[in-house]
Amino acid sequence: MFFELALLGCILQIVQATCAEAADETLKCKTNMCNLQIGGTEAANKYCSQCSKPGEYLIDGACVTEVGSSGCAPQDPPDGTCKSCGAGYFLHKGGCYKFGGTPGSTICKDTVGSSGTAGVCSSCSAENGFFANLAPAATKQSCIACNETADINGLTGVAGCTTCSPPSAAGDNTTPKAATCTACETTTPKYLKKADDGTTTCILADACTVNQNKFFKVEDPIKKCVSCGDAQDAVDGCDTCTYASGTKKVTCTKCSTNYLKTAADGATTCEADCGTGFFNNDKGGASTNLKVCSPCAANCLTCADGTAEKCTSCTADTYFLLAATGSQGKCVSCGDTTSGVPNCAKCTAPASAGGKPTCSECGSGYKLEGEACVPASTNLSTGAIAGISVAAVVVVGGLVGFLCWWFICRGKA
């Protein structure tokens, strides 16, 4: 018997905690108006947004006959909702909710006794999926749910959104400004999709457009449907791409308008101008006019195309531009034995086609004399000089001795 009574009590508590609807019945919600979910998707988290009896008051998501301390001011004429609330309460979806109460504390972080404007929440619970009205007042809804689809004073949320950031300004009378969703609901798994203009939606996995590789799906840490051109999560300015889920690397395969540039490590960017070491190639694809950054030939700093003869400047002063036509030519080593200065390490290009470069620094073991590089030293060592001196003395002494012998011998004869 005790167990049956306890079970009956639990059932009554559940029934009382569940929003009940009726066409015209006291303490009941108007038909189809148990449409407010606060704090979860379960039936116990469903609350009323309009009372069945016009003369009753909507307090903390339920219909009561007495206004109590809520300060709920009925509409004119009364329709079972509040148009403003008193101190210690805030207005939300037609009802007055108490600071620190249930379910008010899920929406608003203000506590009992909080100071501020009567009927207004001063701190909406962003972690629970609410953002503040940009023009708070006792007659306006203080906090707006991230999944709100109605126009609340020029503001709205995003269907299926669980957390968001508010818009910077409200919209006009016909077009409300939507919040920027940062995560979507997980009960029915949805992917957060951000359009090129920054607007966000929560969509099913199949709706993430992967055809033509313009979007890709990310599962961690939150589910996202990411545009290839997303500046934060992909490649800014990219039109089509591939995504490696293992490495989480996005590789752009085509830019929307700019040139596709691939770095040595495989990272891709979209550039208005390819910069040094590359040239703007408008026909980079085999079958399409794909705009890519193609590398210049070896030792070219800038070039007209990728051939060795189309350099317009060289990578360092160890090379000079041997111009063939106009300002284009081939980058040749300063020490080139045919076109350069033998043993030259650094030089400047000739003033006119066909001329020799001007050497400014010679290679190791050579020095600059005039416009040529010559061995750095022609002096003999001290030992060599001593040896030569001794040899010279011997030669001279021998010559003197021979002459003396010659004249003495000749004199005797």
Do the domain assignments include residue 8?
Answer: no
Do the domain assignments include residue 58?
Answer: yes
Which domain does 24 fall in, by range?
A: 16-144
Do the domain assignments include residue 259?
Answer: no
Do the domain assignments include residue 100?
Answer: yes
Q: Record the tokens describing residue 284, joined without a space.
A: 């980079």
Q: Cα(144)–Cα(82) distance, rounded to whole angstroms?
A: 17
> What pLDDT tens digit does each residue of the chain (413 aa) get?
334 433 333 333 333 458 999 999 999 999 999 999 998 888 889 999 999 999 999 999 999 999 999 999 999 999 999 999 999 999 999 999 999 999 999 999 999 988 889 999 999 999 999 999 999 999 999 999 999 999 999 999 999 999 999 999 999 888 999 999 999 998 888 999 998 788 999 999 888 876 668 999 998 889 999 999 999 899 999 999 999 988 999 999 999 999 999 999 999 999 999 999 999 998 886 667 799 999 999 889 999 888 888 999 898 888 988 877 678 889 999 999 999 999 999 999 888 777 889 999 999 999 999 999 999 986 554 454 455 555 655 565 666 566 655 566 555 55
CA 179 to each of CA 104, 225, 307, 363: distance values in angstroms, whole numbers, following the listed order: 21, 18, 52, 67
Nearest alpha carbon to residue 363 among 333, 389, 385: 333
Q: Cα(3)–Cα(209) distance, rounded to whole angstroms?
A: 56
Q: Which of 101, 128, 144 is the last residue of a domain?
A: 144
Residues 320-379: pLDDT tens digits? 888 776 788 899 999 999 999 999 999 998 887 778 899 999 999 999 999 999 999 865
Q: What's the number of domains the chain is made of?
A: 2
Do the domain assignments include residue 399?
Answer: no
Do the domain assignments include residue 289?
Answer: no
CATH code of 347's domain: 2.10.220
Nearest alpha carbon to residue 90 among 78, 100, 81, 99: 99
Q: Record the tokens describing residue 328, joined without a space.
A: 């284009």
Q: Are 312 and 328 in contact (CB under 8 A)?
A: yes
Cα dihedral 149, 153, 155, 157 sign: negative
Do the domain assignments include residue 329?
Answer: yes
Q: Cα(371)–Cα(347) distance, rounded to whole angstroms?
A: 10
Q: Which of 114, 144, 174 is the last residue of a domain?
A: 144
Nearest alpha carbon to residue 153 among 131, 129, 170, 174: 170
Predicted structure pTM score? 0.69
Q: Which of 144, 171, 193 is the last residue of a domain?
A: 144
Q: Are 182 and 170 in contact (CB under 8 A)?
A: no
